[in-house]
Structure 1
Amino acid sequence: MPELRVGTQQLQVASQSNLLDALLAGGVAVPYSCRAGSCHACLVRCVAGEPLDRQPEALALDKRAEGWRLACQCLVVDDLEVEPFDPQRDGIGAQVVALDWPSSHVLRLRLKPVRALRYRAGQHVVLWNADGVARPYSLASLPGEDEWLEFHIDCRLPGAFSDAARHLQVGDSLRLGELRGGALHYDPDWQARPLWLLAAGTGLAPLYGVLREALRQEHGGAIRLLHVAHEPAEHYLAQELQALCDAHPQLQVEQVTAAQLPAALAELRLVSRQTLALLCGHPSTVDSFARRLYMAGLPRSQMLADVFLTRV
């Protein structure tokens, strides 16, 4: 049986055991969320030995070269020594500089990191709170324009991170983990192409950043944004989006409830084969977006999607 070492702990585990499961069974506090290799909350560094990595492409080459692996995607096949991601040692400190509730269930959180974070619109980063709970959240801010990092946290349902976030105050400290690329971004080569942005809930956060990036780069094609919320009051960026519409005639914004979504999707008509669509939100809603766009004639290759996975 392989030996798994973490600090002073020595664990005997069955060969081919999932690394995350083995660590948790041994009492090692490793945060996790999606178990799909997407959230990157379960980062560990290999000190000695090498696990079998079932999704090596999930990490950037420089991170892999430093020994980082996603515990949920690795199998223990030989003796292995790892150290979990330590937010105090490996993360970046950040302070809460502003927070408010643009709707009853969405917390808008703005953080100022102790050192500049290089990112692009549409990316997401792992946030660590003082209790060691880590969750990935998309950036809604625009690099080079906003002086803070902005996150939209859905607090509608109970959650270890979101419940604690309700009690955050200006001046509190959080830690930033790994910055992830994600599928959502704006490419200057798209400048003349029609752009559709379809968001559900706080899936609007990264698309808000992408939208602002497109407008900053003077996107010339038509832009259509569709936001789906449980109820009208949950269209939490309605004022900000209206202000953008007033300033940019090429932008059209439609806000619908979940009950209205089937009718809204049925009315979607492809006006150009050059259209690009960016989709974000709960997997089931993103799947509904993608199926309707495909039926309307948009190739899958022209759809970029990021889904918000719930914790397993």
Structure 2
Amino acid sequence: MPDITVGERRWTVPTGRNLLDALNEAGHHVPYSCRAGSCHACLVQCLSGQPVDALPEALALDKHALGWRLACQCRVVEDLQVAVFDPQQDGIPARVVVLEWLGEVLRMRLAPERALRYQAGQHVVLWSGSVARPYSLASLPGEDEWLEFHIDCRRPGAFCTLVRRLRIGDELRLGELRGGALHYDPQWQARPLWLLAAGTGLAPLWGIVREALRQGHEGAIRLVHVAADDAGHYLAQALRELEGVEVELVPAAQLEQALARLRPSSRQTVALLCGAPATVERFARRLFMAGLPRGQVFADVFVEHA
């Protein structure tokens, strides 16, 4: 059976063991979200040895050549020496400057020790001690002075427990900035733009819709937000104040009726979807049935963590 080495520690795992599971079971706290190779939260570097990689195309060729791997997509078949992210050594310190409860959603704003260059729709791993979770950036780069995150705390979880105890001035650590599936492309400027979000899937789309407006988007913009109840539409007022954006707030109980109304007026429409996997899948299925080409639908999913 193969061995895995991280720093001074070496242990044996069964052949074919998932690399992410092997590292986390050994206490190395590698964060993850989608386990599908899209969020890039579980990035590690293989210094020696090669795992079987089910999704090598998920990383740029130069990065892959340097040994970087998405641990969730790798199986251990030979001895590996792996470097994992050390938040104390490699993370960027960031101070809490705003904690605002919008129902059960915490709007948290952080001031990093040094500027972080990013695009609307990207996400970053937040570390508090040894607990880490990937969160989408809701702030607008180049305009907002802080990094904004929307954290759903409706259900108990290790990270939610920690953030409930945070105070202004506390320090978190920022992991590597990751490129998500969502973005705004200036080439879409004249095309209809649909933004469909469920819950805190609104976070990256909040940044993207403001990016589109800042760039003078000319096509119609429609934003649909699905939430369990009225309180779940945590940015309702801010959304209504967006000029040039058609906003629809949908209770989850009325989702089927809302989906039936999703009829793109143009096959040039671009749709960005974000939220829990089941809801995103329902969004996507309806858009495909309505005739929207798959290449014009971009989706990111949020997976709940304990």
1:197 alignment counterpart: 195
Give the direction of change, closer, same or farther, for the CA distance of 1:147–1:25 in structure 2 (3 Å limit). closer
Asked whether 1:89 is paired with 2:83, we answer no
Please give the per-residue CA displacement for 1:63-117, whole angstroms capped at 9, x wherever unaligned: 4454332322222222221232101112211111111012x21000001111111
Q: 2:41 aligned with 1:47, yes or no? A: no
Q: Is the 8 A contact 1:34 1:311 kept in 2?
A: no
3-state SS, counterpart of residue 181 of structure 2: coil
Equivalence for 1:229 = 227
Q: Is the 8 A contact 1:279 1:304 kept in 2?
A: yes
Task: Give distance in 1, aligned partners of 2:184 and 2:255.
Answer: 25
| Aligned ranges 1:59-98 → 2 under 5 Å | 59-61=59-61, 63-98=63-98
Q: Is the 8 A contact 1:39 1:126 kept in 2?
A: no
- Answer yes or no: is 1:271 the counterpart of 2:265: yes
Matched, 1:286 2:280: yes
Q: Which runs of 5+ in 1 are unaligned?
A: none
Task: Confirm or deny: 8 A CA contact 1:91 1:176 kept in the other structure.
Answer: yes
Residues 49-70 of structure 1 show CA distances to partners (whole Å, capped at 9, x for unaligned) of 2322222233344544543323
Aligned 8 A contact 1:45 1:69 in 2: yes
| Structure-2 change in CA distance of 1:160 and 1:242 (3 Å) | same
- Partner of residue 123, structure 1: 122
The Cα of 1:291 is off from its aligned counterpart by 1.5
Q: 1:297 to 1:43 in 2, by over 3 A?
A: closer
- Alignment CA distance shift 1:195-1:166 (3 Å): same
CA RMSD of aligned residues (A): 1.9
| Paired residue secondary structure (1:272) | coil
Among residues 124, 142, 145, which one is paired with 1:147 in the alignment?
A: 145
TM-score (norm 1): 0.92
Task: Provide the residue aligned with 2:169 in structure 1.
Answer: 171
Asked whether the equivalents of residues 181 and 300 of structure 2 are also in contact (C-alpha less than 8 Å), the reply is: yes
| Structure 2: runs of 5+ lacking an equivalent | none
Q: For 1:101, what is the secondary structure of its paired residue?
A: strand
Contact 1:34 / 1:310 at 8 angstroms: preserved in 2? no
CA distance in 2 between partners of 1:141 and 1:83 (Å): 30
Closer/same/farther in 2, CA of residues 232 and 27 from structure 1, 3 Å limit: closer
Question: How many residue pairs were aligned?
Answer: 306
Residue in structure 1 matched with residue 300 of structure 2 by the alignment: 306
Give the TM-score, by structure 2 length: 0.93
Give the deviation of 1:34 after TM superposition: 3.8
Identity %: 70
- The one-letter code of the counterpart of 1:59 is L
1:27 to 1:166, Cα distance in 2 relative to 1, 3 A: closer
Tell me the CA shift for residue 39 of structure 1.
3.9
What does the per-residue CA deviation read over 1:192-250, in whole Å, with 9 as the maximum and x for residues that have no partner? Answer: 11111111001111111110000001111111111111001211111111211xxx2x3
Opposite residue 211 of structure 1, the aligned amino acid is: V
